[in-house]
Structure 1
């Protein structure tokens, strides 16, 4: 990736008309590029960008790549100045932004490949869970659901009070008692020993268990606190007097309603409307000519703090859709969509496949009733069935897209939809919004969960 950036930077420096004549730039930069490449790779290693525990998941890998790249750029600029090396400023300006872009792109592609291989059963780490059955079941559920993480649970160790059953309720084989961790590791050779909540009665007991495994260099020890669905931005580990204290930042639901997000929503929605209005007009005309009904479907939805508003969508169902609702099977949870809904019209199937029916909601965003990114806007009847935890979804603006959409949309269970929406509310960040918008494009083009 760095070599590719070098070639591109040299080529653009010599061909783009905004720069002066090339002169001897090619000779100078070709000689210096070897030093740049070596220095950049050393900095990537130094900043930990090749550590196995950051590759494949989380944002730490990308942060380390960016940090190493910025440090390399500063180092190169300083060395060129002190040594009075005739380095082309145009090349320098092109080289590092191109290098960061190609490095991040390469990391993203490799991450997708790794995650697909892990989901297919390759490159997995064998995990031995240690703790109380209730916590083991919870962790196992998460690891099984997120198979792309590459954690394959091989069994568990439980306290003596829970000894007896060959498996716990989650279907995880019980390989022994917690006190037998050394013998079980010797016999089954796991890659990771995962201590959940309830694994030990004291920190001293955990330290002794770690001592038992210190001669197993290939075994990684992971300790999971009794905390879930918290983003890394809200977690800070601070060692104090030998205690690794975990500081949890406050919920970011208030930040998700700030002026910066509103400005981004306003300018973003207006920009998209300026680009797609011909497509929107053509779709409205198609729907109107198909059966003579209205092109827009208006429905009351619940927004922030329970305020109701009229949500706009392109009509994808027949005019008598509400009267024909009884034809469908009974709802099995609050959120309902049928994969074979006979009320969907021919234009409706097309616009639903690519989520074009939601384009009019850009006007809801302009009016301040919705956001580009946020939880799904619920119906008043759905809100009436909400439990206390679900009401937290109403702390932020509902969105045209969100974690629920990029994670499968209608293919998700109701529980997973709630979990993702609550995660978004508590862990909001502008970077996460941008990532969700980028993932929305691929989710829409792939038509995942759209019907």
Structure 2
């Protein structure tokens, strides 16, 4: 469960595999014999591992700024005393501005370190602010050497800062994959909503949420059991405050609690004020977060407002330009690979390309092209394999499909069979990032919600690919596509493209 802290006060999770939005974010102290380094300390916020990680981020940023500015000054020294003095001054001022703007732009806020795109947005804002201030100072003092700092050195330092953050984030994800550096969560609500939250947090271990306790209306789990998805039920809805004070929880996540209106939630927030706990409330708006979600105060009453999804405008025009430009560039760069695969497929017998009718924007059909990875009469043999279908919904899935050729298995493993779809992107029927292009037979079974996938162009990659591809159920595939449609942004596209590289290399769910 996550959202954009710029709009509703919490962090934003990775583009892929995240859960529903909440209003706040918190970390949790150790409890029930959990290793302090695997969760937190019993002291006040921030927890021990979070303090250490924040200190590591700050130290890395300061080191990058110091080393980069010093190196730039030394490399720029020419021997002319006046010029050298100007470069040294520019370096010192640039370093000072970067060190000042990072905390001012909240790029060191512990709540956003290691999660979501907000960390990098704030980092970029800090670097841009430092560059602008440096440019204004150089312009007012007529210092010529400031230009190279504004347009080259400071942006390069920003890239190095981003790389440092990325390396630290990957280290944090590794720790969380081992069960360390976790945010332990007390979930409050119906057994169904708690079970959903537990499953979501387990699907996304890199986010670091671990539900370790639950409170339900009856104080019991489904069928009067004492657990929900293996998580112990520690009390009913009236026991939340007692459980927090007894066990030291520092985040309480409330979702779909029957009978809990605004007044009851407000009273719970008051009750938690004497503790280190923070309250996280699921607004119940499925998969809507990020730039569309805002807090609008009306006479002191905070209302959650949603802006309409935008499928036209400048951002979409930029997406179109980026799609076709990148597709053209990739076609040129992969031309040798293209030719080699075409020869290999041709040597296997039959045509090189496989063309299939798919459904695109607003239900319009188009011919999607791929390298052929199956035998020539694969479509005719589908009916005979119907009983072996491992998929749910209208999708056909088979781990060891006998129709796949030897070269086709290799192409599918690394998604090389999809390279010709760059031609579809260049032609405007597909995008680099978008929902999975469905078959007409699939669209015929769509419910109203699933038809929203057709509001945008289908993509070569998307949340479905970076989240497991064929390992996903039909419901999960639809959910991820709808999340993309509802929350599209250029930042989300770049995040998915970046994650696609890792998904292709790992070949997870590719068959």
Equivalent position to 1:116, from 165, 168, 174? 174
Secondary structure of 1:214's counterpart equals helix
2:459 alignment counterpart: 399
For each residue in 1:367-414, what CA deviation from the matched residue of structure 2 results, as whole angstroms up to 9, or x when unmatched? 222222211111222222222221211222111111111222222222
Q: Work out whether 1:432 is the aligned partner of 2:492.
A: yes
Residues 306 and 185 of structure 1: CA distance in aligned 2, closer, same or farther (over 3 Å): same
Secondary structure of 1:437's counterpart equals helix
Residues 367 and 66 of structure 1: CA distance in aligned 2, closer, same or farther (over 3 Å): closer
Q: Work out whether 1:94 is the aligned partner of 2:152.
A: yes
Equivalent position to 1:215, from 267, 274, 295? 274
Whole-angstrom distance in 1 between the partners of 2:213 and 2:432: 43
Following superposition of structure 1 onto structure 2, how do residues 359-374 of structure 1 map, counting pairs within 5 Å? 359-374=419-434
Whole-angstrom distance in 1 between the partners of 2:309 and 2:146: 47
Q: Work out whether 1:73 is the aligned partner of 2:131.
A: yes
Whole-angstrom distance in 2 between the partners of 1:143 and 1:97: 36
Q: Work out whether 1:189 is the aligned partner of 2:227.
A: no
Residues 189 and 12 of structure 1: CA distance in aligned 2, closer, same or farther (over 3 Å): closer
For each residue in 1:271-304, what CA deviation from the matched residue of structure 2 results, as whole angstroms up to 9, or x when unmatched? 22222223212211121123x3111112222222
Whole-angstrom distance in 2 between the partners of 1:360 and 1:83: 55
Residues 191 and 38 of structure 1: CA distance in aligned 2, closer, same or farther (over 3 Å): farther
Give the TM-score of the pair, scaled to structure 1: 0.88
Q: Which runs of 5+ in 1 are unaligned?
A: none
Q: Work out whether 1:295 is the aligned partner of 2:295.
A: no
Secondary structure of 1:213's counterpart equals helix
Residues 170 and 442 of structure 1: CA distance in aligned 2, closer, same or farther (over 3 Å): closer
More displaced, 380-389 or 230-239?
380-389
**Alpha-carbon distance, 1:308 to partner:** 2.2
Q: Which runs of 5+ in 2 are unaligned?
A: 1-60
Residues 349 and 89 of structure 1: CA distance in aligned 2, closer, same or farther (over 3 Å): same
For each residue in 1:296-338, what CA deviation from the matched residue of structure 2 results, as whole angstroms up to 9, or x when unmatched? 1122222222222221111112223334442571343222333
For each residue in 1:390-441, what CA deviation from the matched residue of structure 2 results, as whole angstroms up to 9, or x when unmatched? 1211222111111111222222222221111111112222222222222222
1:316 alignment counterpart: 373
Whole-angstrom distance in 1 between the partners of 2:427 and 2:135: 47
Whole-angstrom distance in 2 between the partners of 1:51 and 1:90: 30
Q: Work out whether 1:261 is the aligned partner of 2:319.
A: yes
1:389 alignment counterpart: 449
Whole-angstrom distance in 2 between the partners of 1:123 and 1:96: 33
For each residue in 1:217-267, what CA deviation from the matched residue of structure 2 results, as whole angstroms up to 9, or x when unmatched? x32222221123113100111222221111111133456994433333222
> Does the 8 Å contact 2:188/2:216 carry over to 1?
yes
Equivalent position to 2:469, from 409, 419, 422? 409
Whole-angstrom distance in 1 between the partners of 2:415 and 2:79: 49
Whole-angstrom distance in 1 between the partners of 2:499 and 2:153: 27
Give the TM-score of the pair, scaled to structure 2: 0.78
Whole-angstrom distance in 2 between the partners of 1:33 and 1:199: 60
> Does the 8 Å contact 1:193/1:219 carry over to 2?
yes
> Does the 8 Å contact 1:253/1:427 carry over to 2?
no
Whole-angstrom distance in 1 between the partners of 2:405 and 2:220: 56
> Does the 8 Å contact 1:293/1:319 carry over to 2?
yes
Count of residues in Structure 1 that have an aligned counterpart in Structure 2: 446
**Alpha-carbon distance, 1:55 to partner:** 1.7
1:284 alignment counterpart: 342
Equivalent position to 1:418, from 478, 481, 484? 478
Whole-angstrom distance in 2 between the partners of 1:393 and 1:222: 29
Secondary structure of 1:61's counterpart equals helix
Residues 256 and 147 of structure 1: CA distance in aligned 2, closer, same or farther (over 3 Å): farther
Secondary structure of 1:273's counterpart equals helix
Following superposition of structure 1 onto structure 2, how do residues 2-401 of structure 1 map, counting pairs within 5 Å? 3-4=63-64, 7-8=67-68, 11=71, 21=78, 23-24=80-81, 29-30=87-88, 33-34=91-92, 36-79=94-137, 88-159=146-217, 165-167=224-226, 170-198=229-257, 201-216=260-275, 218-254=276-312, 258-290=316-348, 292-325=349-382, 326-327=384-385, 329-333=388-392, 334-401=394-461
Q: Which has the higher contact order (CA 8 A, sep 6+)?
A: 2
Secondary structure of 1:305's counterpart equals helix
More displaced, 387-396 or 260-269?
260-269
Whole-angstrom distance in 1 between the partners of 2:406 and 2:192: 49
Secondary structure of 1:194's counterpart equals strand
